[in-house]
Amino acid sequence: MIGRFTAACLLLQRTLAFYTPTLSTRTAAQVSMSALAVPLDQELEVWAKDSGFGGIEKSIPAGSSGWASFRKVTVSDPPSNDDDKPVSFFVKSSSRSSEEMFHGEALGLNAMYACSQGSSGDDDALRIPKVYKYGDYSGGKRSYLIMEYLNLAGRSDDRALGKAVARMHLSPATEEAGNPTNAFGFPVDNTIGGTPQPNPWTKPNSGTKEWIEFFRDHRIGHQLDLASDSYCSELWTKDIAPRLHLLFEDLTGDNEIKPSLLHGDLWSGNIGSADGKPSIFDPAVYWGHHEGQQFWEGYRSVIPQDEGFLERKPLYDAYHQLNHYNLFGGGYIGSARSDLEILKKKLDTKE
């Protein structure tokens, strides 16, 4: 499950600035949260000592969501980040297992961190928090995720954001980034918003053919199964999916599609800045075609537009419109239908 890192960090900033609860204002839920923090702090003490970070100096509550609690933690002998500044930690804890709650999030952050070349060592890089540890409590029953705490601010310059995202897309698939076989997919399934997102690996050294099959079956096909809209399903199954390869005829040979690490759910609410650098959060990470990501000024200065992009754009837009419909209902299905109808008309001209 993907966490809401941005909102939690901003909530912490507001909490520290404006509100220090007294005993009389603490609710039963807050008392309960404090009680649960005791075993967490014990886990953190052991982790800090074993990691050579000394002891815990401060462990400050930073709010909660429906599925996890958040804390900002400082240690007596902190490591340094890529800018040689001491690291504070952002800690999430949950009553559910680490495998269920934090495994996918940690792998996604690790991949984005690796593909952003350490995140902060270059002016054109994204600022991604480094994951230090995740796992279950030594006594079981609860779990935690420890990552670098970022001082988040508002959205960065769009040109810098576009260049940084493009650099992440150009980063090669490696074992460090979680893709040792140069395939499409991801080590685990995750979610896009609240919608399950399947990420089975394609074969090693995949290209355009494998990408078409992946997107056909595990993106559009999957969303259509959830939507249960007979018009869209029939349009896709009969008129588009069998001819989908015609939209990718320019992406063969030297132009073969290569796996790029995608944030997966990039929109204005998942974008900010940290230490003056663009930062993106709350991902639905997987390895896919870079065209499946939204673009900003500056992106094309790093990755030029491929021929046929405008023909394929409604295909990638349809995925997000269908996901919005599955999440929120309403008029999004009309937008998805429109995208699919555009694709059908374009394919009709190619035969």
Amino acid at position 132, single letter: Y
The runs of H, that is alpha helices, within 252-331 are 309-328
Q: What is the DSSP letter of 23?
A: G
Helix (H, G, I), strand (E, B) or coil at 2: coil
For residue 291, report the phi and psi dihedrals to the nearest 5 degrees: -65, -15
Helix (H, G, I), strand (E, B) or coil at 189: coil
Which DSSP string do the residues of 200-261 spell out, in sequence order? ----TT--HHHHHHHHIIIIIHHHHHHH--HHHHHIIIIIIGGGGGGGGTTSSGGG----EE
Rg of the chain, C-alpha, whole Å: 22
Start-to-end CA distance of the chain, whole Å, equals: 43
- Report the C-alpha gap between 9 and 16 in whole angstroms: 11
Q: Annotated catalytic, 225?
A: no
Cβ-based burial of 342 (10 A; exposed 0-12, middle 13-18, buried ≥19): middle
- Report the C-alpha gap between 56 and 48 in whole angstroms: 7
E strand map for the chain:
56-64, 69-75, 89-94, 131-136, 143-148, 152-153, 190-192, 195-197, 260-262, 271-274, 277-280, 286-288
Query: Which of the residues 77, 122, 123, 265 is marked catalytic?
Result: 265
What residues have CB less than 8 Å from 171, skipping those under 6 apart? 114, 115, 116, 117, 177, 260, 261
Three-state DSSP string of 193-216: CCEEECCCCCCCCCCHHHHHHHHH
- Report the C-alpha gap between 195 and 26 in whole angstroms: 35
Residues labelled as active-site residues: 265
